[in-house]
């Protein structure tokens, strides 16, 4: 079953919120030339246990809808877990690791599509 990007984002946001993920942000790369994905979803947890629970719940909810990740990494360290769904790449960070890498600042010229505010 094919699920479009907006539906994937809705599923992932709902799953992340269910596990109390903080600061959920989605960035749109569709208009960026040479981008390797259509969107990033970035969120964080306050402990390694929560980061792991958020990532696992996202993966479980997507699998229930027939969407399996092409790649998942970081599960051994639990401070930054990446789940690649092709057109959507999910980053689940431990708070302090998210602050260190600041992906939102790195991609500041992209449009924010969740929670719906525009970025400049």
Could you read off the pLDDT of 103-116 as tens digits, one per residue? 999 888 899 999 86
At a CB cut-off of 8 Å and minimum separation 6, what does 63 contact? none
Convert 52-64 to b/e letters by CB count within 10 Å (16 or more is b): bbbbbbbbebbee
> Domain containing 92: what range?
5-114
In a domain, 119, yes or no: no
pTM over 0.85: yes
Alpha carbons 32 and 119: distance in angstroms, whole number: 14
In a domain, 22, yes or no: yes
In a domain, 120, yes or no: no
Task: Grade residue 118 by pLDDT with cuts at 50, 70 and 90.
Answer: very low
Number of domains in the chain: 1
């Amino acid at each position: 079953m094919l699920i479009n990007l907006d539906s994937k984002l809705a599923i992932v946001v709902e799953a992340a919120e269910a596990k109390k993920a903080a600061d959920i942000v989605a960035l749109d790369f569709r208009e960026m030339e040479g981008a390797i994905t259509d969107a990033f979803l970035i969120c964080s947890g306050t402990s390694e246990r929560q980061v792991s629970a958020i990532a696992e719940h996202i993966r479980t909810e997507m699998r229930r809808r027939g969407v399996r990740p092409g790649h998942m990494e970081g599960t051994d360290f639990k401070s930054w877990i990446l789940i690649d769904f092709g057109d959507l790449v999910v980053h689940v960070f431990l708070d302090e690791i998210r602050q260190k890498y600041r992906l939102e600042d790195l991609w500041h010229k992209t449009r924010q599509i969740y929670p719906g505010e525009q970025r400049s």
